[in-house]
Amino acid sequence: MRKLLPVLVVCALAGCASPDTGPQAATPAPTPSTPTTSASATESPSREPTTKVKACFDGDCLLKLSKPVTIRLNAKKFYYPKLEVVAIDKDTITYWVEYPHGGGVEQRLGEGGGSSFAFRENTPVEVKLVSITKGQALLSLSPGERG
C-alpha cells in the first residue's frame, strides 16, 4: 500500500491542491451510520454487474471484484487515466487515483460509502461500494455532473 504524507491527503480531500496537480473536489467516504447515496451511483436494471474491467472505461459500470485491479478510464473525458483498487478486505475496499502531474489520493470505502474525484471542467467519476460480502465487492462507477 502506498504511503502518503498526511498533508497531501488532507489537501487532496479538501480540494486545496494547486490547479495543475489535483482534483477540484473529492468527497471523503461517509461514516457507516450516514452513507451517501446518488441516483447515478446506485444499481439500476440497465447496468448489469460484470467482472470485465474493460466495461468501466467509460466510467459507467457495476464491477464485481474479489482482488485488486487497475481500472482504465477515458482520460479525455475524466482527465485521470485509471483508478486502482489496491485492497479488498471483508468489509472495505481501498482505491488509489494517481495525479498525472505527480502525487495522488487514496480512499477507503465501506459498504454504502461513496466518493468522487474530478479535475477542472472534466467529468467527475463517482465511486460507490454498493455491497461487500466475504471479500466479494460490487463497485459502482458513474460519470457525475460537471460542476
pLDDT in tens, 35-50: 333 434 444 445 899 9
Domain membership of residue 129 (yes or no) is yes
Q: Domain residues for 44?
A: 6-29+36-143
* pLDDT greater than 50 at residue 1: no
Domain membership of residue 100 (yes or no) is yes
pLDDT for 134: 87
Rg, Å, the chain Cα set: 14
Cell of 68: 485488486
pLDDT for 11: 34
User: Domains in the chain: how many in total?
Assistant: 1
pLDDT band at 105 (very low <50, low <70, confident <90, very high): very high
pLDDT for 33: 32
Domain membership of residue 51 (yes or no) is yes
Taken in order 32, 33, 37, 43, is the CA torsion positive or negative?
A: positive
pLDDT band at 142 (very low <50, low <70, confident <90, very high): very high
pLDDT for 98: 94
Cell of 38: 446518488
- Measured over all CA atoms, what is the biggest interatomic distance in the chain, rounded to whole angstroms? 41
Pairwise CA distance, residues 123 & 143, whole Å: 6
Name 61's bridge partners.
141
* pLDDT greater than 80 at residue 77: yes
Domain membership of residue 1 (yes or no) is no
Mean pLDDT over each residue of the chain, to the nearest integer: 77
Name 142's bridge partners.
126
Domain membership of residue 15 (yes or no) is yes
CB 20 within 8 A of CB 31: no
Question: What is the pTM (predicted TM-score) of this model?
Answer: 0.69
Domain membership of residue 21 (yes or no) is yes
